[in-house]
Chain A
Amino acid sequence: MTHLRKPWWRDRIVGGSLATLAMLLLLSGVVGFVWLPSAQNDARFKGILDAICGAAGIPRGWLADAVPPLPTPRHVSTVVLTPDTLSHDAPGSIGRGGTLALKCTMCHGLRGVSTSETPSLAGQQSASIYKQLRDYQTGARSSAVMEPLVKDLSDQDLKDLAMFYGSLPREPARDLGNAPDIVAFGSPTRNIAACGSCHGGMTSKLGAPWLDAQPRAYLRTQLLAFSHGTRRNDTSAQMRNVAANMTPQEIEQAVEYYGSGR
């Protein structure tokens, strides 16, 4: 029984198993970190260090010597929207926005509810108002009326206006139960998601405004502008991709459903 008193690592079986395990580990390491990555048809995996870093997932550039990116044209929105773009706002933002909004009531209505073909702003998503105002300012969205009105406002002014209009009571939303198919289901076979999956009703996407009770003429103009590519301020074409696939009938149905009587 002397062998039982030997330290455990000198035991033939334990020691042997440990040695085999270590070999296996080394072998698998070589297979996973050197052999398989090097077998890839990619110059950036060649060499032991590159292969190991690649397999270990060290972040780095994987495209060498590509042609440089094209410059960004003016109509592209430069607004960065994140869920907290408007959430850290200074106290008094809504009050200051209310004062600034005196310049807007003439067209957008006394309490943000328009009675003409101008869009209503009452209860609109603040992030969306802010984005549109910035886009008018940079020229990403063009409007002969709106561009001069926001030209001299500061970024904080735009945020205050957005907070103010967002705080006003919104007109009641449409009942999705009566919605035409294009609004309630979209057309999945043509890459059109339901309008309600971004514009509220089902779910809301950051930056997608409420459409309920906007003037029909306004909705129609915007949808046609997206589908013809004359309005291009939607980031990475998120709304153009929808409108480009809609038929004229579907545009009418959506306008009819969302639009107010005006």
Chain B
Amino acid sequence: MPQPASESPSHSDVAARAERRWAIVMLGIIALLVAMVVFTGLHWAMMPPSRVETVDPATLQLSGEFTEANLGSAVEPDGSVTVRIVGQQYSFTPQCIVVPAGTPVTFRVTSADVIHGLMIMGTNINSMIEPGFISTFKTTFDKPGDHQMPCHEFCGTGHQAMWANVKVVEPSAFTQLADHARRLTCDL
């Protein structure tokens, strides 16, 4: 039954209503995505890329904090521990990392050659290790135990052999070790 033209909605009104609905749906989707980012950011420690810091990968061994003598775990004045690691084809130095349980630990890791990766099994620690950049991340291990730390970024023909150990020990045992050396590892 045909309606008089003046009473039916004009084409542009129909289009406007459809567009408004679409806009609301899109806005809803974006709001949901932002909410997810906020939730995972606050509760799952998934943060936007951050803590960018550069270093010359060819001269790590000469000076600065990644010289051989300075690698391993260092006790800071505030009682926290800083662990410095160099990743290279096809090992991490030190090969065995020792840290105390229940103590804030800051990892500082860089690569001497190509892109490597690092994850500490049984924890949510997982980072890229890029030549030219220092990866910094903080954590606290809640209990003593041994963790494997493989390289998870293909770095060449020997990649599958590249991993290290992380030994989390009682704070008292760590303090005893720290009395004997200024940089600690559990290397052989």
Contacts and interface: CB of A to CB of B under 8 A. Distances in A.
Interface of A: 4, 12-13, 16-17, 20, 24, 27-28, 31-32, 35-37, 39-42, 45, 54-55, 57-63, 65-67, 69-73, 76-78, 80-82, 186-188, 191-194, 196-198, 202-203, 205, 235-238, 241-242, 244
Nearest to B136: A62
Contact of A13 (B19, B62, B69): B19
A203 B52 contact: no
Interface stretch (B1-9, B81-89, B121-129, B169-177): B81-89
B182 interface: yes
Interface of B: 12, 16, 19-20, 23, 27, 30-31, 34, 37-38, 41-42, 47-54, 58-65, 67-71, 74-77, 82, 86, 88-91, 93, 95, 106, 108, 112, 134, 136, 138, 156-158, 160-164, 182-183, 187-188
Given A20-B23, A81-B58, A192-B161, 18 more contacts: A4-B12, A28-B34, A36-B37, A40-B50, A42-B51, A58-B52, A62-B136, A66-B76, A69-B63, A70-B70, A71-B69, A193-B157, A197-B90, A198-B90, A235-B61, A238-B91, A242-B91, A244-B95
Given A39-B41, A72-B67, A72-B68, A67 B74 contact: yes
A67 B53 contact: no
Interface majority SS (helix, strand, loop, mixed), chain A: loop
B16 A236 contact: no
Nearest to A79: B61
Nearest to A193: B158
B114 to A, nearest CB: 10
